[in-house]
């Protein structure tokens, strides 16, 4: 049994768990701890906070799933101000081994290893994800994560991190034209992350209000999501439904671009919280609405992963994959 601290760092939260990796590759995790990134000046101070919560000692291995590109001497997060210097990880965290992956690269590892009961069906054929070939993984949170998974006939798999959340947003109707026009006042280039991520609900809501000639107060995204889900605000509910439409469009675009015809998986806590709305919305229709490829899109199973911590589980899985042939005393 080998232990590793699994860490999933997003724009808003940093989640920690101690994962145990058995000799057969199976992974178990203890109860996760969630820290707010705004409460800590750096990842190191968050690590020290977690270490104190665990009694002052931690396993001497860490696997980090990071919301942003992970190459280079300095890793900068897309949606929070922390930085990580890989060359200093062993020294600063007092570990012997480390793995660093993109957060949705980690989620794709989780998709590859999760049991079938960890998925619920959204649209397309109600069948398991393809056992071989290409799958696309994406999910809205503070940003929009995207990854690619390729399953080999041998049972092995390969994961690729991408920055697919930063492709250009393509509006499909007059309402989305209006959303784009609002966003262009602040951004020279509008990526899909500006429309299909948790904070985007504010701009969607404000756009719908303007189209109806209503003056609404500026407020944070959490309040709009809450009212849009509990039925207390019809305009907020319309904004959530519009979000689901755009998510369907983007998911279909990603599948086409990656060749993810073996299946598409929606991940992230936000996707899980709006699962009932997704099922009742136009998500499925928008996913399929790809012109000459509509028939092809209808053959793709689309699932929602419901594992409670896919980022943490995937970080541990990425470590297990990378360190299969190393022993606890070896450097890596």
pLDDT above 60: residue 156: yes
- Cα angle value 47/78/222 (rounded, 5°): 85
**Which phi and psi angles does 189 have, rounded to 5°?**
-130, 130
pLDDT tens profile 220-268:
999 999 999 998 999 999 999 999 999 999 999 999 999 999 999 999 8
| Cβ count near 157 (within 10 Å) | 18
Give the best-scoring range by mean pLDDT among 9-13, 145-149, 157-161, 251-255: 251-255
Q: Judging by beta carbons within 10 Å of its beta carbon (0-12, 13-18, 19+), is residue 223 exposed, middle or buried?
A: middle
pLDDT above 60: residue 327: no
The alpha carbon torsion through 209, 214, 217, 222 (nearest 10 deg) reads -30
Q: In Å, what is the CA distance from 270 to each residue of 124, 204, 266, 283?
A: 21, 16, 10, 15
Q: What is the mean pLDDT of the chain?
A: 93
pLDDT above 70: residue 324: no
Please state which CATH class domain 2-101+309-322 belongs to. alpha beta
Rounded to 10 deg, the angle between the 234-258 and 221-230 helix axes is 100
pLDDT score for 121 = 96
Three-state helix/strand/coil letters over the chain: CEEEEEEEECCCEEEEEEEEECCCCCEEECCCEEEEHHHCCCHHHHHHHHHHHCCCCCCCEEEEEECCCCCCCCEECCCCCCEECHHHHHHHHCCCEEEEEEHHHHHHHHHHHCCHHHEEEEECCCCCCCCCEEEEEEEECCCEEEEEEEECCCCCEEEEEECHHHCECCCCCHHHHHHHHHHHCCCCCCEHHHCCCHHHHHHHHHHHHHHCCCCCCCCCHHHHHHHHHHCCCHHHHHHHHHHHHHHHHHHHHHHHHHCCCCCEEECCHHHHHCHHHHHHCCHHHHHHCCHHHHHHHCCCCEEEECCCCHHHHHHHHHHHHHCCCCCCCCCC
- Please name the CATH architecture into which domain 165-305 falls: 3-Layer(aba) Sandwich (3.40)
What are the residue boundaries of the structural domains of the chain, listed by start?
Answer: 2-101+309-322, 165-305
pTM assigned to the model: 0.88
């Amino acid at each position: 049994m080998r232990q590793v601290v699994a860490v999933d760092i997003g724009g808003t939260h940093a989640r920690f768990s101690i994962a145990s990796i058995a000799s057969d590759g199976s992974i178990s995790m203890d109860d996760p701890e969630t820290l707010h990134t705004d409460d800590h000046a750096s990842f190191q101070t968050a690590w020290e906070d977690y270490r104190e919560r665990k009694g002052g000692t931690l396993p001497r291995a860490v696997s980090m799933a990071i919301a942003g590109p992970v190459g280079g001497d300095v890793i900068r997060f897309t949606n929070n101000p922390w930085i990580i210097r890989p060359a200093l990880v062993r020294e600063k965290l007092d570990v012997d081994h480390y793995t660093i992956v993109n957060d949705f690269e980690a989620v794709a590892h989780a998709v590859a290893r999760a049991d079938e009961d960890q998925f619920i069906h959204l649209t397309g054929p109600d069948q398991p994800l393809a056992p071989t070939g290409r799958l696309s993984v994406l999910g809205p949170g503070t940003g929009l994560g995207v990854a690619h998974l390729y399953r080999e006939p041998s049972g092995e798999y390969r994961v690729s991190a991408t920055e697919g959340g930063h492709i250009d947003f393509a509006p499909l109707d007059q309402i989305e034209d209006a959303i784009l026009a609002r966003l262009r006042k602040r951004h020279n280039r509008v990526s899909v992350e500006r429309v299909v991520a948790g904070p985007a609900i504010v701009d969607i809501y404000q756009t719908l209000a303007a189209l109806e000639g209503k003056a609404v107060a500026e407020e944070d995204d959490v309040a709009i999501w809450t009212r849009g889900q509990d039925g207390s605000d019809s305009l907020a509910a319309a904004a959530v439904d519009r979000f689901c439409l755009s998510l369907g469009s983007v998911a279909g675009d990603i599948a086409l671009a990656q060749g993810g015809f073996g299946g598409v998986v929606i991940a992230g806590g936000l996707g899980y919280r709006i699962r009932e709305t997704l099922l009742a919305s136009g998500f499925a229709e928008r996913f399929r609405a790809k012109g000459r490829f509509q028939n092809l899109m209808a053959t793709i199973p689309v699932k929602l992963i419901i594992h409670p911590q896919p980022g943490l589980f995937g970080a541990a899985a990425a470590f297990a994959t990378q360190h299969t042939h190393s022993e606890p005393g070896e450097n890596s």
